[in-house]
Copies of this chain bind each other. A is one copy, B any other.
Amino acid sequence: MKFVLLFVLLVPLLVVSAHNAQETGFQRPDPNNARAMARWLVASNSWGVISTISLHLGGAPWGNIASFSDGPEGNATGTPYFYLSRMDPTPLDIEADPRCSLCLSEAPIGTCGTKDAENPTCARLTLSGKMVELSKEGDEGRYALEALYSKHPEMKAWPKDHDWRIYKLQIDNIFLVDYFGGAKRITVEEYYSTVKAVTLSTAM
């Protein structure tokens, strides 16, 4: 009898929960769920700033705007892929020193309202690691290009003679501020294991 009652109580709850999850998959997660917040920021933003050790400024830290995608629509993997031209300094910096960071704000998503971008409740995320160039012929390179074209269709028409390269950020450090009380530590394992929490599916 107890199990039947439990079942009767749980099933509608699970149905409602699954329904909400489907509906709110890309909605702003609760700040108590730091891992989901980090994944949501990556899935919902279309551009950020790549920081590199600059060749053209003698090793000074340098930032550049870059579009990115972490998967085709509805299939966010958490791994940011980039389509960068070697006519820009960023790929040249990466070739000399692959260490870099990708910094994102919640502000461009439009969910910070009138809050300041530096206000801790307007979330900000920095993913650090190494930038790895992907072969256009390889499986992951083809997937990355599909992910990029899906979120940035205009890339398909960008001039072919600009020496475009495909990169992925191999994340080894995650810095998130999404509430009062200081930055939150999220391990790379937690970041990649949080898929179900935000109902984002992984393709690879």
Residues from chain B with Cβ under 8 Å of A195 in the complex: none
State A99–B54 Cα separation when bound (angstroms).
11
Bin the interface of chain A by size. 35 or more
Task: Give the residues from 166 to 182 in chain A that come closer than 8 angstroms, CB to CB, to chain B.
Answer: 173, 175, 177, 182
Verify A117–B61 contact, CB threshold 8 A. Answer: no
Among A53, A87, A118, A182, the one with the most B-chain Cβ atoms within 10 Å of its Cβ is A118
Q: Tell whether A30 is near chain B: CB-to-CB under 8 Å.
A: no
A124 CB contact (under 8 Å) in B52, B64, B99, B100: B64
A64 B116 Cβ-Cβ under 8 A = no
User: In whole angstroms, how far apart are the Cα atoms of A117 and B45 in the complex?
Assistant: 11
Q: Are A119 and B154 in contact (CB under 8 A)?
A: yes
A194 within 8 A of B: no
Query: Once the chains are docked, how many angstroms separate the CA of A105 from the CA of B116?
Result: 16
Cβ of A18 < 8 Å from any Cβ of B?
no
* Residues of chain B with a CB closer than 8 A to A83's CB: 118
- CB < 8 Å: which of B50, B63, B105, B177 contacts A102? B63
Q: A61 is contacted by which of B46, B66, B101, B116 (Cβ under 8 Å)?
A: B101
Asked whether, in the complex, the Cβ of A47 is within 8 Å of the Cβ of B105, the reply is yes
CB-based contact B116/A155 at 8 Å: yes
In the assembled complex, the Cα of A182 lies from the Cα of B85 at a distance in Å of 11
Do A65 and B124 contact each other (CB < 8 Å), given the known contacts A99-B60, A105-B47? yes
What residue in chain B is nearest A52 (Cβ atoms)?
Answer: B61
Partner of A65, one of B46, B61, B118, B152: B118
* Other A-B pairs beyond A47-B117, A64-B175, A108-B108, 15, CB < 8 Å: A46-B116, A50-B63, A51-B62, A51-B63, A57-B173, A60-B99, A60-B100, A61-B62, A61-B99, A63-B63, A64-B103, A65-B117, A66-B118, A87-B182, A115-B154
Top 8 closest A-B pairs, CB basis?
A63-B103, A47-B117, A49-B49, A51-B51, A67-B118, A51-B63, A51-B61, A65-B124
